[in-house]
A = this chain, B = another copy of it.
Amino acid sequence: MAIKYAILGLLHYQDMHGYRIMKHIQRNFGHMWTINYGQISRSLKDMEKEGLVSMQDVVPSDDGGPHKKLYSITPKGREEFARWLASFPDKGMLIRDPFLLRFVFFGFGERDQALKIIDEQIRIYEEQLERRKKNIAHWSGYPDYVRLTAELGLQFNRTYVNWLKRARKEIADGREEKGKKGKEKE
């Protein structure tokens, strides 16, 4: 359960409640992790049962805000996190890109439709790239591990956008019509 360790790691910085953990992961780990509240909610409940975190109810009367559940990491949680951190990753990178899966098969469809989808993909990833460029400056004073991770996200984003634009151009220029269309390698 990898989400578990992401949560335990974040709770090293400070106590948090579920929604804030989700927002943190979305904002700062977005290039290597996607998450939604349902997963956080379930994980926190399980982890409390396991004794890795402890929960404190923050009722509206306490701070004037909405009902929250504030989670802290326990000594047991710190132990398990440290063990995990020092262990070698057992699995490799997991990638799923619904766009690329289409892209590789675009030879079986209409070129104009393919170009439309590619253009939309360029729009999305250029926007993301601009957001990340703006954000990266804020990381300059932070620990190397965190800053370096953000920089990798930016580099992947840049590589992807450049590739998309080059691919779009090659396809628009009609080069795919000359290839051995429909053939595939083993």
Interface residues of A (CB under 8 A from B): 2, 5-6, 9-10, 12-14, 24, 27-29, 31-34, 81-82, 84-86, 88-110, 113-114, 117, 120-121, 124, 138-139, 141-149, 151-152, 155-156, 159-160, 163, 166-167, 170-171, 175-176, 179-186
A28–B185 contact, CB under 8 A?
A: yes
Report if A90-B98 is in contact (Cβ < 8 Å); known contacts: A24-B186, A144-B175, A146-B185. yes
Oligomeric state, in number of copies?
A: 2
What's the least CB distance linking A127 to chain B, in Å? Answer: 11
Instruction: List 27 A-B pairs, Cβ < 8 Å.
Output: A13-B183, A24-B186, A28-B185, A29-B101, A31-B95, A34-B93, A34-B95, A85-B105, A85-B106, A85-B113, A88-B117, A92-B98, A93-B160, A94-B96, A95-B95, A100-B152, A107-B143, A107-B146, A139-B185, A141-B179, A141-B180, A142-B180, A144-B167, A144-B170, A144-B175, A145-B176, A152-B167
